[in-house]
Structures are given as structure tokens and as C-alpha cells.
Chains A and B, each alone.
Chain A
Amino acid sequence: EVQLVESGGGLVQPGGSLRLSCAASGFTFSSYSMNWVRQAPGKGLEWVSYISSSSSTIYYADSVKGRFTISRDNAKNSLYLQMNSLRDEDTAVYYCARDGVFDYWGQGTLVTVSS
């Protein structure tokens, strides 16, 4: 069974940093690209970042470019999102989602940016 489990969310002050993790199981993680998607409270879904299976290709949404860094460790079956210079508008539930077709999603982790 495919499972994606996010962790690392929490309350952080504006300008602060946070590192999210997504632990994958039930499939060959190293064969799949991965994405981060977020959803602000009461709002729609917004794609955040993509990383290919070998980390050779990475994309970011304009709203996070230069502040967020996506990475993965295929030996640990894990995906990461390093978030720096956080802003109020980054407050959201962050989901990891498998592949370019977004077929499996984790349960999400809440990031709250507030003073």
C-alpha cells in the first residue's frame, strides 16, 4: 500500500524557517518524481514544487522561488521542503503528492506563520 506521511509543520514567526519531510513507503520511491502542494485555510490548492526521481529536474512556483528548496534522499525514501524567509501568506497545509499525475497524497502537515 502506498503511503506518504508528512511531518515538520508547526508555528513559526515571519522570517523564520521550517523543514518539512515526507516519508514514502509501499512503492519504489526512487522511480517516481514528487511534488509539494499547499492549501491555505479556506482556499484552493496551489502547487509549490516538483523534483524528478533523480533530482536532476526541479521546479518551483513563482510565489516560493528563492525561498524554498526541495530535495530528496532516495536511500531514505524521503522528500523534503526547506522553507526559509517565511511569510504570513505561506500559512497552509502542505501535502506531498506522488509523480506528475498526483495519484497519491499524504495527509498533510500544517504550517502557521504568525507573530
Chain B
Amino acid sequence: DIQMTQSPSAMSASVGDRVTITCRASQGISNYLAWFQQKPGKVPKRLIYAASSLQSGVPSRFSGSGSGTEFTLTISSLQPEDFATYYCLQHNSYPPTFGQGTRLEIK
């Protein structure tokens, strides 16, 4: 199985900050990676697909990059509604595997 190592597991930041979250795959997954945002009690929401494609309706301050084994999610200027938990997901091969999550908190 492909392991996804996500970092950091938690972080605090201020409104307006630039934030980067990283996921590393234990083997190459091409660009079969998605990023999800989940707020407490809510359904995960896909932000990025194919490593760098922005989901329709998602603000342009979110961006994704990477290919192979290393991927990043960047939020260019944090907004109050961005404080949530973020997960990466590889779907290059079954079983698909999620990163352990990054909890983004207000500083």
C-alpha cells in the first residue's frame, strides 16, 4: 500500500498569512492526488484534483503543486473561513490512502 505522510499535523497561523502543507507519497503516484478541506461536523470538500487543478467554485488563493512523490497545498492569504483540517488523498492505486490530516488553527 502507498503511504501518505502529511506535514505538519497541526499549525497555527494568522489571517493574511501564506500557508503551505506537504504530502509525501511512499512511491510515485504521478499526479493522482487530491486535497480536501473539512470543517468540524461537515463533509470533506475537494479543493484540488490532479495535484494542481482547482475545483470549480474554490477560491483562487488555494493552489496545489507537485508530481511523483512530493506535493504541496498552498493558501496564499489565509481567510477566517479557511481554518479547518486539510487532507491529501492518493488515488493512483487501490487502496487509496489519505494523509493523516493537518489541523489549521487561528493564532
A residues in contact (CB < 8 Å) with B: 35, 44-47, 50, 59, 61, 95, 100-103, 105-108
Chain B contacts to A: CB under 8 angstroms = 34, 36, 38, 43-44, 46, 49, 87, 89, 91, 94-101
- What separation, in Å, do the CA atoms of A75 and B63 have in the docked complex? 39
Task: Give the docked Cα–Cα distance between A97 and B46 (Å).
Answer: 11
B7 to chain A, nearest CB (A): 14
Given A59-B95, A101-B34, A102-B89, verify A44-B46 contact (CB < 8 Å): no
* Cross-chain contact B34 with A47 (CB below 8 angstroms): no
Are B34 and A44 in contact (CB-based, < 8 A)? no
A89 to chain B, nearest CB (A): 17
**Given A101-B34, A102-B89, A103-B49, A47-B44 contact (CB < 8 Å):** no
Once the chains are docked, how many angstroms separate the CA of A50 from the CA of B93? 12
A50 to B94 CA separation, bound complex (whole angstroms): 9
Given A44-B100, A101-B34, A102-B89, A61 and B44 contact (CB-CB distance below 8 Å): no
